[in-house]
Amino acid sequence: MGGLPDDKFVSAVELPQHLVAVSAFQLARHPVTRGDWFGASVEAASLPMTGISFEDAEAYARGRGCRLPSEAEWEYACRAGASKLFSRASSLGIEDANYLYDESGERVGVGAMLPVGGHPPNAFGLFDLLGNVCEWTADLWHPGYKGAPSDASPWLEGGKCGYRVIRGGAWDQLPRMLRSSWRDWAPESARWDNLGFRLARDF
């Protein structure tokens, strides 16, 4: 887990790279959609549900016998057994994920969210882990991995109270923010138009 040695965009918050033992768990194939949240008849039902705080996402998950994934589980699922910068390869094209600008600053994306499942899945059959919307994880924000759990459990000791790790990158970002190791934080109260979530549960 963490930034790769040959990644020119890796930052201190993605280090040190470290081993994590991940127990069996289940992860939703795509983020929770507007249809999941409001009902299938809602307008734009296949778009990811955004504008949801961490607390609301957690409550939704609990109400369905699920939870939010830990950051380690999220990265494990994203990498799908590969040690690449991105889920499926060492480079990323607009056909692979929904993002806005390429690394030269040229606008290449549509500039909006897209329905889930519109880009190829990774090797685990999971969609939209990179791009479209960032995703809440269960972990408190820590500015690096020194002292992180080695069992893929959520890191809830220490850290920045009231701030959670988000992963995956979004429709309004650059490919460098869609790398498998990219991570950032959001206040638990954040209700952003590029931040959603997906469900996890134990076997």
- pLDDT tens for 130-167 read 999 999 999 999 999 999 999 999 999 999 999 999 99
pTM for the model stands at: 0.96
Q: How many CB atoms lie within 10 A of CB 6?
A: 9
Residues in the chain: 203
The per-residue pLDDT of the chain, averaged, comes to 96
Alpha-helix runs per DSSP H in the chain: 34-38, 54-63, 71-79
Beta carbons of 159 and 141 less than 8 angstroms apart: yes
Give the model confidence (pLDDT) of 54-87 as tens digits.
Answer: 999 999 999 999 999 999 999 999 999 988 888 7
Map residue 177 onto helix, strand or coil.
helix
119 close to 129: Cβ distance less than 8 angstroms:
no
Domain 23-145+158-203: CATH class, spelled out: alpha beta
Residue 200 dihedral angles phi and psi, to the nearest 5°: -130, 160
The whole-angstrom separation of Cα 156 and Cα 65 is: 21
